[in-house]
Amino acid sequence: MPDPFPSCFGEYAVQVADISGTANRTAQNLVTCVYQTKFSSRCRLITITWCKNLVGQEFTVNVDDTSAQSMCKVDLKPWYYWKKQGFKNLDVGGKKIEVFWDMTAAKYTNGPEPQEGFYLAIVSHGEIVLLLGDMVKEAFKRTQAKPPSIEPLLLSRKEHVFGKRYYTTKAQFAETGRTHDIMIECHTGGSREPRLCIRVDKQLVVLVKRLMWKFRGNQTILVDGLLVELFWDVHDWLFNANMGNAVFMFQTYFPVDSESWVNCEHESMVSHSLKNRESKGIAGFSLLLYAWRSQ
The pLDDT of residue 110 is 79
Task: Determine, yes or no, domain membership for 46.
Answer: yes
- Same domain for 131 and 44: yes
Task: Determine, yes or no, domain membership for 267.
Answer: yes
The pLDDT of residue 109 is 85
Task: Determine, yes or no, domain membership for 6.
Answer: no
Asked if residue 247 lies in contact with residue 288, where contact means CB atoms within 8 angstroms, the answer is yes
Q: What is the pTM of this model?
A: 0.81
Q: Which residues of the chain have pLDDT under 50?
A: 1-26, 260-263, 265-278
Going from the C-alpha of 93 to that of each of 33, 69, 203, 271, the distances in angstroms are 22, 9, 47, 21
Asked if residue 143 lies in contact with residue 121, where contact means CB atoms within 8 angstroms, the answer is yes
- Same domain for 113 and 221: no
The pLDDT of residue 281 is 66
Domain endpoint, select from 102, 127, 151: 151
Task: Determine, yes or no, domain membership for 64.
Answer: yes
Q: Which domain holds residue 242?
A: 160-293
What confidence tens digit (pLDDT) does each residue in 204-222 have?
A: 999 999 999 999 999 999 9
The pLDDT of residue 187 is 80
- Same domain for 175 and 258: yes
The pLDDT of residue 19 is 42
- Same domain for 174 and 122: no
Strands 69-75, 85-92: pairing kind: unpaired
Number of domains in the chain: 2
Cα(61)–Cα(63) distance, integer angstroms: 7
Domain endpoint, select from 116, 151, 186: 151
